[in-house]
Amino acid sequence: MGARQWCRMWCNPPMQPDAVAIGALRPRLEKLAELLDRIEFTLPTDAREEAEQARGAIVKTVTEYLIPRLDEPEAPVVAAVIGATGTGKSTIVNSLANDRISDVGALRPTTRSPVLWAHRDHAGRYWSEFVARVRERVGATVEVVIGDDELTQELTVIDTSPAEYIAPSGRNPAEDVLALADLCVFVTSPTRYADISAWQFLREIRWRGVPMLFVLNRLPPDRDEAVALLNDFASRLHNNGLLLEPDAAMVFGVNEAVGDRWHGGLEPSAVGALRNELGAVSNSGYRDTLVAMTAYTTGRNVVDRSRIVLDEFDKVVAIAAELEVVVDESYDNQATEINELLASGGLSDMARHRTWSEAAVDLTAIVTRRAGVAAQETARVWLADPAGSVLLEGKGASLWRHTEDTSWDVQGRLEEWEGTLSEVAVKHGRSGTMGGRAAKKVAAKSWSLVVAPGEKAPWGVRRRLGKSMDAYISDAQDSLGRVVRDALEVDASRFRKHLGMEIDVAKQIDRNVVAISALLHGEVPPLESVPDPATVEETVDSIGEDLESIESDETAEEPGSLEDGDDLADVANTDAEHTGEDPQIKIEPIEEEDTDA
């Protein structure tokens, strides 16, 4: 295929893709889509809607086009025929087939569902899954026309709904089909090619990186007029970055004077040049390059749009961080006040109880009430903030008070605290006087000293703690203070969950974007030397290795040898790579025997 044909499809031809790098993209792309699917733009920002649309588009592009296409690179080329109502899309398809594939007309309900034209020899998992993906996107009404035309042996043609048609679901079926295509045949007419909506659609196609063939249909019979229209259309395409040169020869012109035939199409000669080009790009000799370049360019655009999403997400994270400061301050203030009361003897009235379990009921009531105060204070400040007020709507109304489970959670934590008090007693007890049973007795008799530090300690407690009494009470108060803070943090976590910020996810997305970009530019070794991010996070973190150092390591040591300083998990994973087994091997720590017994 000559340079002119490629120029028709590629305004800015990318570098020739490396087959190994293209194959290595799959695990990275799969992880990127998974991570992007987890983030939410819950807070209002200037470009929130655009970022959310971009995020959704990336996920669909990766999961519904790139990964399936990388899995089946030898599947037929998919060409989506796209155009506005009345431009003659179906006429072009029928003319290519020299048969009635799709009904024609100025406005016809039948074209609101795509028509898929394929060869009867197509079969296998990819084909059935591809048709299923089309139907999942645009509905079960997709019509499939099977034939024996040699053009469709390596090419599947989809006559889409009009580009401007919006389905009852609110989706654009033409855009949905385009997301699954390797090639776009854009059909327009002299009366429609200047429409603003058409250029908006073309810009979206260009973002996807899909090669385009341009057809100016229904040209007038007057040659000079037809040439003028072709030149004007080519010039507009060039000015919008869709053609390398403003050359009318790069546009397929179709003359309406050829006339309609019985099948709703034109004479075969009217679309002969277009049919020849479609046959050339779908030929196995060029198909692999076409598919690889489409996947390559789409991958580059996924990287660019992912960075846009991350930039906007950074703004969301910054807003969330400010709101989180309010949560921290409100709950920290209440925890600090309770702990100050504890240290100053302000809670000494609880010492009147016979047991800690009884005293814990009083402290539970205090902590629960303080949680409610912190919640109200946080909600009040959030309400005055544009982003915070959005979060308080709907389910956020429950944030104005503590949860129904707060008192139960606090009570349980406080009762458990008495058990930890014996550990503090052992720490400060006189040498040789504090066994396990003695420590429990000290804890049972000394909890009142923690809430009422001015009280006189029982003789048995003084005997076993001696001069460490003050240090013991101080440590015990600190321990109880941490329990109070932890209990309040549980209530505060509701606000953090409402913020929905997964900053760690954003960092993982960024790592995958960097890795994908590097792969596309040939800057990292083949897939065998580049572990999947999921595996890296599960295994490398546990053995203290850095992701970047692994990705840059182009050599692997011989399996089975253990040198000084090597980690056992490293050798096990290396062996697995050489044997083709799952490298995600867990090396469980060896539990030490309990020698206290």
Distances (CA, A) of 295 to 14, 18, 100, 176, 208: 11, 11, 32, 17, 9
Asked whether residue 8 is domain-assigned, the answer is no
Same domain, 150 and 258: yes
Asked whether residue 28 is domain-assigned, the answer is no
Domain termination site, one of 241, 262, 282: 282
Tokens of 435: 């066994």
Same domain, 391 and 258: no
Same domain, 464 and 575: no
| In the block, residue with structure tokens 């897939």 | 527
Same domain, 276 and 373: no
- pLDDT for position 383: 92
Same domain, 331 and 386: yes
**CATH number for 224:** 3.40.50.300
CA-based torsion, 403, 404, 406, 409: positive or negative:
negative
Asked whether residue 374 is domain-assigned, the answer is yes
Asked whether residue 377 is domain-assigned, the answer is yes
Same domain, 343 and 246: no
Same domain, 338 and 215: no
- pLDDT for position 530: 38
Q: Which residues of the chain have pLDDT under 70?
A: 1-23, 104-112, 123-127, 257-263, 394-395, 431-433, 501-503, 523-597
Asked whether residue 290 is domain-assigned, the answer is no
- pLDDT for position 80: 94
Q: How many domains would you assign to the chain?
A: 3
For residue 557, give its domain range.
525-579
Distances (CA, A) of 558 to 306, 524, 574: 38, 21, 8
Is residue 26 within 8 Å of 309, Cβ to Cβ? no
CA distance 291 to 77: 7
Same domain, 488 and 529: no
Which letter does DSSP use for residue 57 in this model?
Answer: H
Asked whether residue 32 is domain-assigned, the answer is no
pTM of the prediction? 0.62
Tokens of 579: 């044997």
- pLDDT for position 145: 87
| In the block, residue with structure tokens 């903030």 | 385
CA distance 426 to 280: 84
Contacts of 261 (CB under 8 A, 6+ apart): 267
Same domain, 255 and 132: yes
Same domain, 537 and 487: no
- C-beta pairs of 372-376 under 8 Å, 24+ apart in sequence: 372/401, 372/402, 373/334, 374/330, 374/331, 374/333, 374/334, 374/488, 374/491, 374/492, 375/330, 375/399, 375/400, 375/401, 375/402, 375/491, 376/400, 376/401
Asked whether residue 417 is domain-assigned, the answer is yes
CA 289 from chain centre, in angstroms, equals 29
CA-based torsion, 342, 347, 348, 354: positive or negative:
negative
Same domain, 474 and 356: yes
* Of the candidates 29, 87, 82, 104, the residue with the CA atom closest to the CA atom of residue 301: 29
- pLDDT for position 239: 92
Same domain, 256 and 122: yes
Asked whether residue 513 is domain-assigned, the answer is no
- pLDDT for position 570: 37
